[in-house]
């Protein structure tokens, strides 16, 4: 019996029975629910009653719930715990999902009914959320080809299926490239400069692969410490070159042609829909609204960041010479000398703070912060099935003890898992047909350093910030209180979705919170005041450089997606030109970001990477308000929950933000916080 055929999984909170679900269950389940959804669509079209909001718009929205559930299982597992069978199913089903979506969006009879409801409904009689769903449904159809000719609809469907397939292949290639490289060290002298903890981790990695010595790889907990601490410059260069050439080797994992295909297909799609380029199509439904506004925003930040970044590079070059460097600073030298300069200026480095950030204690500290602000609580439940043995699951309860959500926490890297960190959902919050508030199942995925035989997982300060960031996304899903999945949780404009996550990062630099969270993993001793002061004092170290780095990704993204003609030139040449305004160190020949830039070629941030900086503007302004009222203000937290976290995409983001803040945000708070003013 296929467990995915059942509406009731007979698990706590009807959670996904990961212990029973196999890759071979997915395709038959999709086929079953495709047919069920088609039946509902037919009923909508054939209904002889006058089309109205409930029998057309709401019925349509609910028709895809089971398909959304299946897609969540498949795509989430393919990123977090994949295998060849799952990759094969995902590759096969992705184009079919895209085609099924188009089958609905391009259905002329269905759109005729939607248009009739849109044009005849007295919108003043609808509540805010109903009105938003009506507008979004009509807009989604119009923006996705409903008004095209039959010939163009056929072309649109073909393009969508191809894009879906290329997107999956892109991610698969990046994962393969990441896993294909190992830096195997057998001479202990090559480990000079590395902290003992990092050497132990590398030795255990070697042992797990039945190798002598030490093994480093391209997963971040292994890659980054090596780049920061290894004295052996040639090995730093070797590791960097492996990382920065993923997807451009002359092998089956090469992504350069896939990039051209994706970019050109997006241009075709945009042109079919009446737009000059893909960015114009995407930004019509964003806070930024147009590519001109994005360009203006990025330029404003570039102008503010460049002088400080140049000063930082000059200082680093001088410091490297004083430290004995007989070469010009290259990109594989930056982290190494930056860590030494930070130590000299502020007497702090990651290895000084790491013993105070034991993963479990930080996790509890982040959860306690949510409790202090919002009154919610978390209880681990070991009876809920998980997709991998290290994953933890927590029940989340509101301040009145009512059940709010399930929260999956997946902390450690593995070969079956994509790099980076992200939040996702297996079940989105919504109100079902019986009026029951179905609560979400939220998942936070990380790639933190694993525990070793003698130490627990100890986080860098940057990883503490990452945990807060993803937890902020998690709260956006957990607190969702909307009627419709389509508008719930993180289903908001892309340049608004990072506000809750980046907002929560601010507590990482607050003394009152750090003192509650950080204690030595062996002695239990609280983090010394002096060390907390150093964390806060050093927070803007290289702020200009890091701002330029983020801006370089934003500029590259916009350059790819403002193309308005077929691109068939050299990827590296294109990228070098796009990132030229932010180039601070010599360009390394043969390297490229684009072939592993999953955010924009497979992760939904196409023409949207600028949103990280855009959301920084919002979160800096929002936290400035908290600093005025008190960083643990329950009154402000309740307002943030009510006006931002619980509302999903039920209103325009700026409307929601102004309800919380009382005004639109300004850039001053961001520039001041970053030391760029």
Cβ contacts of residue 457 below 8 Å, gap of 6+?
Answer: 358, 359, 360, 411, 412, 448, 449, 450, 451
Cβ–Cβ < 8 Å for 408, 386 = yes
What is the Cα–Cα distance from 161 to 156, expressed in whole angstroms?
9
Total Cβ atoms within 10 A of residue 241: 14
Query: Beta-carbon neighbour count of residue 522 at 10 Å?
Result: 10
Q: What are the catalytic residues? A: 470
Q: Where are the alpha helices (DSSP H) in 409-493?
A: 461-478
Query: Could you give the 3-state DSSP secondary structure of residue 378?
Result: strand
Nearest CA to 390 out of 448, 442, 342, 332 is that of 448
Q: CA 114, 117, 123, 126: dihedral to nearest 10 degrees?
A: -80
The token pair that represents 612 in the structure block: 């990280």
Q: Name the token pair of 235.
A: 């090995």
Distance separating alpha carbons of residues 170 and 184, to the nearest angstrom: 27
Q: What is the DSSP string of 571-604?
A: HHHHHHHHTGGG--SPPPTT--SGGG-HHHHTSS
Residue 136: what are its φ and ψ, rounded to 5°? Answer: -65, -40
Question: What value, to the nearest 5°, has the Cα angle with vertex 473 and ends 468 and 474?
Answer: 90
Residue 242: name the closest of 294, 183, 301 by CA: 183
Distances from the Cα of 154 to the Cαs of 108, 146, 164, 264, 428, in angstroms?
13, 11, 16, 17, 32
The DSSP string of 505-551 is HGGGG-HHHHHHH-B-TTT-PBPPHHHHHHHHHTTTTTHHHHHHHHH
How far apart CA 259 and CA 245 sit, in angstroms, is 15
Q: How many CA atoms lie within 13 A of 560 on its CB side?
A: 35
**Whole-angstrom distance, CA of residue 113 vs CA of residue 107:** 10
Question: Is residue 472 within 8 Å of 507, Cβ to Cβ?
Answer: no
Nearest alpha carbon to residue 493 among 610, 373, 598: 610
CA distance 189 to 516: 40
Nearest one of 387, 478, 381 to 427, comparing CA atoms: 478
């Amino acid at each position: 019996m296929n467990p995915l055929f059942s509406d009731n999984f007979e698990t706590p909170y009807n959670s996904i029975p990961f212990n029973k679900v196999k890759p071979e269950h997915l395709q038959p389940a999709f086929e079953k629910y495709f047919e069920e959804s088609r039946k509902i669509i037919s009923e909508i079209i054939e209904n002889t009653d006058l089309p109205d909001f409930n029998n057309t718009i709401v019925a349509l929205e609910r028709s895809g719930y089971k398909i959304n559930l299946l897609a969540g299982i498949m795509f989430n597992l393919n990123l977090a715990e994949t295998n060849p069978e799952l990759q094969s199913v995902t590759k096969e089903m992705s184009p079919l999902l895209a085609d099924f979506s188009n089958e609905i969006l391009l259905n002329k009879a269905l759109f005729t009914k939607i248009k009739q409801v849109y044009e005849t409904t007295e919108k003043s009689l609808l509540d805010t959320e109903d009105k938003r769903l009506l507008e979004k449904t009509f807009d989604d159809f119009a923006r996705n080809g409903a008004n095209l000719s039959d010939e163009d609809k056929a072309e649109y469907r073909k393009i969508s299926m191809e894009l879906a397939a290329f997107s999956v292949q892109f991610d698969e290639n990046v994962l393969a490239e990441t896993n294909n490289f190992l830096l195997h060290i057998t001479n202990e002298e090559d480990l000079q400069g590395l902290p003992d903890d990092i050497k132990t981790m590398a030795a255990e990695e070697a042992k797990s692969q039945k190798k002598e010595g030490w093994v480093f790889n391209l997963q971040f907990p292994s890659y980054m410490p090596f780049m920061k601490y290894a004295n052996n410059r040639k090995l730093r260069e070797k590791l960097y070159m492996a990382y920065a050439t993923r997807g451009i080797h002359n092998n089956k994992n090469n992504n350069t042609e896939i990039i051209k295909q994706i970019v050109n297909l997006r241009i075709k799609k945009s042109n079919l829909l009446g737009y000059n380029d893909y960015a114009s199509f995407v930004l019509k439904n964003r806070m930024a609204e147009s590519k001109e506004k994005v360009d203006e925003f990025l330029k404003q930040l570039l102008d503010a960041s460049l002088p400080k970044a140049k000063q930082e590079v000059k200082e680093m070059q001088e410091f490297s010479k004083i430290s004995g460097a007989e070469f010009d600073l290259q990109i594989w030298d930056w982290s190494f000398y930056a860590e030494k300069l930070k130590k000299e200026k502020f007497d702090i480095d990651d290895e000084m703070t790491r013993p105070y950030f034991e993963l479990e204690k930080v996790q509890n500290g982040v959860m306690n912060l949510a409790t202090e602000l919002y009154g919610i609580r978390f209880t681990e439940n070991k009876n809920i099935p998980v997709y991998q043995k290290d994953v933890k699951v927590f029940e989340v309860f509101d301040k009145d003890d009512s059940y709010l959500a399930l929260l999956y926490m997946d902390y450690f890297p593995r070969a079956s898992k994509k790099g980076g960190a992200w939040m996702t959902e297996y079940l989105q919050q919504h109100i079902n047909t019986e009026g029951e508030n179905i609560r979400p199942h939220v998942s936070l995925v990380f790639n933190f350093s694993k525990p070793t035989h003698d130490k627990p997982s100890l986080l860098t300060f940057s990883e503490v910030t990452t945990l807060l960031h993803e937890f902020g996304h998690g709260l956006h899903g957990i607190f969702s209180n909307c009627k419709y999945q389509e508008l719930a949780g993180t289903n908001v404009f892309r340049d608004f979705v990072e506000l809750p996550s980046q907002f929560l990062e601010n507590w990482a630099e607050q003394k009152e919170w750090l003192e509650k969270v950080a204690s030595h993993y062996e002695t239990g001793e609280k983090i010394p005041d002096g060390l907390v002061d150093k964390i806060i004092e050093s927070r803007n170290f290289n702020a200009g450089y890091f701002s330029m780095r983020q801006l370089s990704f934003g500029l590259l993204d916009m350059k790819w997606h403002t193309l308005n003609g077929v691109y068939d030139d050299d990827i590296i040449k294109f990228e070098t030109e796009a990132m030229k305004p932010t180039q601070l160190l010599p360009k390394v020949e043969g390297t490229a970001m684009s072939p592993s830039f999953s955010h924009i070629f497979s992760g939904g941030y196409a023409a949207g990477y600028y949103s990280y900086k855009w959301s920084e503007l919002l979160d800096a302004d929002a936290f400035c308000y908290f600093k005025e009222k008190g960083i643990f203000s329950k009154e402000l937290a309740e307002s943030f929950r009510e006006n931002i976290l619980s509302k999903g995409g039920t209103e325009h983001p700026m409307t929601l933000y102004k309800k919380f803040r009382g005004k639109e945000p300004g850039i001053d708070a961001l520039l001041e916080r970053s030391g760029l003013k």
